Amino acid sequence: MQKQKVIVICGPTASGKTGLSIELAKKINGEIVSCDSMQIYKDMTIGTAKPTKNEMQGIKHYLIDFVSPDTRYSVADFKKDATYAIQDILKKGKVPIVVGGTGLYIESLIYGIEYNEIKIDLKYREELEQIVQKEGLNILYEKAKKIDPEAIKKISENDKKRICRILEIYHSTGKTKTELEIESRKKGPDFNFALFGITMDREKLYERINYRVDIMLEKGLIQEVKELISKYKEFPTAMQGLGYKEVVGYLQEKYSKDEMIEKIKMETRRYAKRQLTWFKKYDNIIWLDGLDSIQNNIKIILEEYSEKNSTTTDK
């Protein structure tokens, strides 16, 4: 039986995923499933570079702007919601196009990772929080590195949520996150994924990132953060997002506005570099030149996509 086909377009921030995916969707009667861990949040529009209604050009987008910033949203939540969205698109006779740069989200789909429900020990979570407050996050990072060196390679030293997740999983199950993922991949993916990645000259990409940050600030990123702080009491994950945490630091007078701007640009460039490194490990990825025309890249996608449809079956 042939698995149903799904296109995935991934790549670093500011590489042109949005424009390419929308033009592709218009051409092939597609709808888009966002694969971005920050665009899920309501009231976080400027700093996450959400596509506007005009930019969407009438193409339906799923998993954008639907989670409150004071709510925790896991990779398992994304896997479930994205699968429902893909199935909904297929039922309408349209082509699902998964688009984004969040590597963990993409892997949950293309490897068919099944997440077992793990009971969270709130007392242990509080203990971890106290360690962070008293001794710093690096203590937990090093602890997680010893427990699960493979999983820690995939995350930033500043990603408190995912560092704690590695420790919580081991605490609750006695198994590492990596061990559980290996077990969970035995079933395989639910769909026939055609995977495409956007890359481009590093200097050009960095220029685009710097320009995007300037535009975000012009559009009112600082005011957006102020409004978020006044509206929500806590941000389990949302305020860890690029741009947001740096603006918070500026508002707390930890550094000047110019220093904040440079921090956002520098951290975003570093993030883009990590994204490219992450996606390059996929054996089955087809690379597209982000500096090439959208029409040429659509042509490559359709050629590879058609071939994949005719050759891949669920044996």
- Tens of pLDDT along the chain (315 residues) come to 678 999 999 999 999 999 999 999 999 999 999 999 999 999 999 999 999 999 999 999 999 999 999 998 988 899 999 999 999 999 999 999 999 999 999 999 998 887 767 777 889 999 999 999 999 999 999 999 999 999 998 788 888 888 998 999 999 889 898 888 787 776 778 899 999 999 999 999 999 999 999 999 999 999 999 999 999 988 778 888 899 999 999 999 999 999 999 999 999 999 999 999 999 999 899 999 999 999 999 999 999 877 656 544 443
CB-based burial of residue 77 (10 Å sphere; 0-12 exposed, 13-18 middle, 19+ buried)?
A: middle
**CA–CA dist 222, 204 (Å, integer):** 26
The answer to whether the 5-113+185-311 and 122-184 domains have the same CATH topology is no
* φ/ψ bin of 312: left (φ > 0), alpha (ψ from -120 to 50), beta (otherwise): beta
Reduced DSSP (H G I as helix, E B as strand, rest coil) percent helix, strand, coil of the chain, to 5 = 55, 10, 35
For 142, the 3-state DSSP assignment is: helix
13: closest CA among 100, 105, 73, 116?
100
Is 122-184 a CATH 1.10.20.140 domain?
yes
pLDDT for position 314: 43
**Where are the domains positioned within the chain?**
5-113+185-311, 122-184
**CB within 8 A of 279, min separation 6: which ones?**
10, 11, 103, 197, 285
Residue 73 C-beta-side C-alpha neighbours within 13 Å: 27
For 199, the 3-state DSSP assignment is: strand
pLDDT for position 311: 46
**Cβ-contact 100, 17 below 8 angstroms:** yes
pLDDT for position 135: 92
Provide the b/e sequence for 43-72 (b: ≥16 CB within 10 Å).
Answer: ebbbbbbbbeeeebeebebbbbeebebbbe
How far is C-alpha 95 from the geometric centre of its chain's CA atoms?
A: 21
- Please tell me the class of the 5-113+185-311 domain: alpha beta
